[in-house]
Structure 1
């Protein structure tokens, strides 16, 4: 078989009416729009979660960027998913707003919580300072009251109910031959307690015996004889009335000359008042 002329196929020219197939079309580049949609959904979901909102800004920002790029591809005709890209942009903006809003909300709550803690601490510190000041004031008042109850012989202490107590300087006492509580050679002394009721109610003397000791702390022994010179403060003292108690005590021969007398009309109701001074 002879070779065909140049420019001709061995099969001859195509039959009349035959059309060549169209060239293949390029695939649409829709990946950016799809990615923008997925990232936008992720950003919104994370933004709605209480503890994960702070992670939503990154996928939301990427969704916004990929969505803009996807729209560019649609305008150039190389992508067909304009709706996906636009939705990704919208969701990206929403995710960013949720991230910013969550951050502002968290900062405000943390600031409020810190303010509450600070206010509570300040309140506690103020209460402690007030308690310390109150305790210091009470201690000062107690010390002042204690100081006021330390007197010298002849001075008068006035209780809140108007009762006035005065202890005179102890005087030497000569017991008779029938004295009890006094050994030969001891020092005998007499303590005089004067009570005046300047209050509006009667005062009940329940324990009217003084406690006597010398400057070294040696206790004096109550001395009782048959002379009838001792008188115990007892019973009710009416308003405006005055009563005198006289008590005899015996001290060892070597007792110090300075005497301490403690007295309370009722140890359950009144604090002891103390008188000190030398013997005559």
Structure 2
């Protein structure tokens, strides 16, 4: 009597679960990043999400190639949207920074327009003063010891030039030319401290109006520095090299590099 022996059938291994999470995340972040990139002000968010979406999309695509995921279209789309987010981020940054730069330029221009230098006629031989923004004649330069006064209380005065002989260590003096010293005073009669950084005089002399080189030497200044508090003043001495036949030394000063004050000019008699 025979008996049929039935052998147990081997069980097939369960299929591995698909790892589609990274591709899906890349798609979601790519969509949000792209939408953020359409608003220039959110360029920073688009850039961050774009980088993450691009990385996740590339990793998700790699899983598809290895058979660990089956959402190739989702992963590829997420990668593309991540790249698009980065492009929009760069464009948004350019637009934003350009707009900010233009706004700053407009503010600087408006500040300059509030203060325009104009000379006043000296009275009784005393020091003259020109108030900016009051509509006086701006086509004439100031004379020695006259003051350029600005609406915010800042006042700049240049004295008459004095001839001197530079020492042997001085720089900027040409043999045959004449050297002159002028004293510049900045007085702050306003209510806020004034930063003098970048304030330095420029000069021209001679028939052709050529630049008069600044002379550097002992006890001579190069530029203003530091702040002038309300009610205080600062005085500096500068020297310039002028042709021997020059009759006028024109000195120009732009307080604070012209950020809020226009330049003023003084025609100083020499020779």
Structure-2-length-normalised TM-score: 0.47
Larger gyration radius, structure 1 or structure 2: 1
Q: Greater share of helix residues, 1 or 2?
A: 1
